[in-house]
Structure 1
Amino acid sequence: MGAKKIVMFGCCGVLNQSAVQDKIIVPVSAVRDEGTSYHYMPASEEIHAETSSVNILKNSLKKCGMSYVTGKTWTTDAVYRETQSVIEERREQGCLAVEMECSAALAVTQFRKIPCIQFLYGADHLDADRWEQRDLAEYGIRNFKKYMQLAFECALAL
């Protein structure tokens, strides 16, 4: 629809609390467990973010004074299939989080050859004996100013 560059962010479920604790998550790759990405890129288990976009995001995070962690995320559009056994499997693959957009957005933007920066903030917690809703109910309202500041920094740097 004419977009020349994309910056997107949103909440995710945390799969590795000790690594993510109070940090912005910089997805460097995503496990493709959704349907959209397969319409834009050949089948593969994972899709990788463009290194240049990841570097812009990391520089913007440093400029904004925000701590972060880089790693893999798990994209699924089937929330009721986030079973304990699949969560364990994704943790073993090194996934820090679960969300619903990353791999699809990477596939579309790589197909269209436009830069895309994505970052995530932890909302609900799936790295415990019981699911913890945490910030999911507020959708990041508490920290929306810092997320917007980071998004604008990234957009200006793209």
Structure 2
Amino acid sequence: MDGFFRETKEKVAYRKSEGCSVAEMECSALAACAAFRSATWGMLLYTADSLADVQRYDQRHWGGSAYEYALTLCLDAVLAL
């Protein structure tokens, strides 16, 4: 877990002031590793659920209807490299 080292109280407050309410942890960690290694890297993100408001949680089928489309986008991006 890199949160203790990369997400300082100041950074969290700054992002909240910009209107952010959630964070995607794995993408940021992989992006940092790729930048450190000077590697070409990308990640396609799409939302399947949110726990930002647990009282109004809507499962939305966990994004199941978007898998094929997401895979097509990823493969197209790789072929474009």
TM-score of the pair, normalised by structure 2 = 0.65
- The answer on whether the counterparts of 1:124 and 1:131 sit within 8 Å (CA) in structure 2 is no
Higher relative contact order (CA 8 A, sep 6+): 1
CA distance, structure 2, for counterparts of residue 126 and residue 92 of structure 1: 20
- The answer on whether the counterparts of 1:123 and 1:133 sit within 8 Å (CA) in structure 2 is no
User: Highest Rg: 1 or 2?
Assistant: 2
Opposite residue 109 of structure 1, the aligned amino acid is A
Q: CA deviation at 1:100?
A: 2.8
Gaps of 5+ in 1: 1-33, 46-85
**Identity rate of aligned residues, in percent?**
30
- CA, structure 1 residues 145+96, in 2 after alignment: closer, same or farther (shift >3 Å)? farther
- Across the aligned residues of Structure 1 and Structure 2, the Cα RMSD in angstroms comes to 3.3
Q: CA deviation at 1:133?
A: 4.2
Which residue in the other structure is 1:49 paired with? none
- The answer on whether the counterparts of 1:124 and 1:133 sit within 8 Å (CA) in structure 2 is yes
- CA, structure 1 residues 100+44, in 2 after alignment: closer, same or farther (shift >3 Å)? closer
Bigger fraction of residues in helix: 2
| Secondary structure of the structure 1 residue equivalent to 2:39 | coil
TM-score of the pair, normalised by structure 1 = 0.38
Aligned residues: 77
